[in-house]
Structure 1
Amino acid sequence: MLWHAIAPSRRYTKASHDVVRHPRLSSDAKILLLYVQGLPEERADKALSEHAKKLGITGRAYQRAKGQLIANGFVHEWKRQGERGFWVTDQLFANVPLTAEEAAAVRNDRLGVPSAPSAPAVPAARPGARNPAVGEPGGRTAGGYEPVDEELGENYSHPPSEVAEGERVLLSLRHANPQLHLGVREARGLAEVAAEWIRRGVSAADLRRALTGELPKEGVRSAVGFLRHRLVQKLPAPVAAPAPFPPVSPSPVREFIVCEGEGEEHVFRPVGDETLCGPCAREANRVYWAARRAEMESEPDPLPWRERVAAIIESEQGAERGVEAGPPAVLAATRAQGSVRDAGAGS
């Protein structure tokens, strides 16, 4: 595959590789996310469905894309009762995944609602000075996201390495909690330790949750020292490599033996304890079943059960009168039974 790209110098939207390569977002969800991210401030009052309609994403396609964005933390919704008693739905859109607490803090800050002490509000992000979003500079950045320092026009043709991914996660912690604000140099100093988490199978989202959860009640004095201690102390165990399969020894080769079948003497190599080779075993089976079939065909058809019962009853009554009656086979059986009874009486 040939690849060619020119980084735009204006009128562009910066997209994170986490969004472009997100495994749980469909193409409609990604396009909708990037489209809303680049909207100017004056169009922020419209519902997400109206923006999706302009892109031709409607009906079930829109519901599926919206559900994916909500499930992965890019869209959050709240229902509240307005001044006149009508119910209003507040939508918060972010170009980075936010937890329910982080999203509520951003919403409260935008609406001027005081946040609870246990969930400090995330301060509103200031527009970037070097890399403006699409359109004229405004006072809103979707989801409270502040771009990480990077060179203008920098473009990756391959996925970022574990170190670059760890540095990106560390720089994004400032949006989860201002106490964890790191500079670029500080984040690069911890990126190698964070990369070891990723090498051991921890996703970027799980790493972010591990670093921002259960912060000290007295606050974080040094973000660098606190994060270095947590990265080292909570480092998960390395993923154990699967045990190799034991080598399979080949089956021993059996010696040739003489076949016990008819015909000219010949040998074969047995698989088990058989004494006939394949052709002789098939011929022996054919002869056996042919004889069984001929034997079954030569046997007389059995009498129906009604006739057998009637003959037995008639023979017993005739024996009492001294008269033999019934079919020969039944009479023979009757005579045999009478002989057994006479022999028993004489003894």
Structure 2
Amino acid sequence: MLRHAIAPARFFSQVPNEIIRHPRLSSDAVRLLSWQLSLPEDADQSLSETAKRAGIKKTGFIRAKRELAAEGYLHEWRRQGVGGRWSTTQLISNAPLSARQAVAVRDGRPTDGLPTAGGPEGRSVGHPQKNTEENISHPSSPDPVAVSEQAAGQASAAGRKDASPNTSPASGPDPVRTVPAPFVERGAQALAAVSHGERRLRLSGREVAALAPLAGDWLRRGATVADIREALTQWLPDRVHSPAGLVRDRLTRKRPEAPTFAEQRAAERSTAVARSGPRVAEMRECAGEHVQPRLFRPVDGEALCPSCRCDRAGTEAPAAAEAAMRGGALVRDLLHAHRAEAAV
């Protein structure tokens, strides 16, 4: 594959490769997000207007918004003003944000992992940079002597870091922190269900809240609640000393791979085909007496419709009550006879 790319000198935007190559964002979602990020700071253009200008149809726009919101690139809030009118506030970011981080950015408060909000500054969109090599993915070859000196300096710094026991290694951004709130809530429900069903994995409410982002990341990657339960309860030891530690280890070590966008579309199409079958295929004809055949959807393999079951229960109730009364009288007679024999 041959590529020919010329670094633009003006009117360009810097978009992270994580957005362009995102496996779970469609082309409409990437185009919508890139278009919004390329706008100036003072531009007040809604997502719907951007979709119209970009030529994105209504169905594609709805799917793109859903994908951006699920991945944490889009956050929306609806508020009611003093006069009773509702307004929608939209936040677009070039990095995934959790619900708490998005609220902090909206309110101008500092957040974990994000730079502190300061005074407004001009953006470099549409203006050339001093060094255009920083804006392309294939910079020119550096000086080999400088590279060797830089590598030697990095090796010596790494040796000093390994020799110092109090130095903690630098950690990159944790992808679990960017799990959207709906997945975190569903992950907490899945962990609570596993904790109630397995006595060796009893978790407190605080531990469930701390481990919910890990379980939510599983759900975001396409796993089901049954997959989480199987991964946590399979091959458990007879005694678990730290249930929270075991759950954290298994959720981290057995985390499934993120599905590609093509796999997600194939799963959606298969689900749509499965749901498009005839609804009467799940129905059954009632075995009771009706003027015309009556269809109903059984819940547990029953052969009678709800009306017939209610009628049969109403006719059988008096007979059952009479049998119970006869049985009670017989038991009383036997007790009296036994007491009379014991007195003699």
TM-score over 0.5 for the alignment? no
- Higher RCO by CA contacts (8 Å cutoff, separation 6 or greater): 2
Could you state the TM-score of these two structures normalised by the residue count of structure 2? 0.39
Bigger Cα Rg: 1
Could you state the TM-score of these two structures normalised by the residue count of structure 1? 0.38
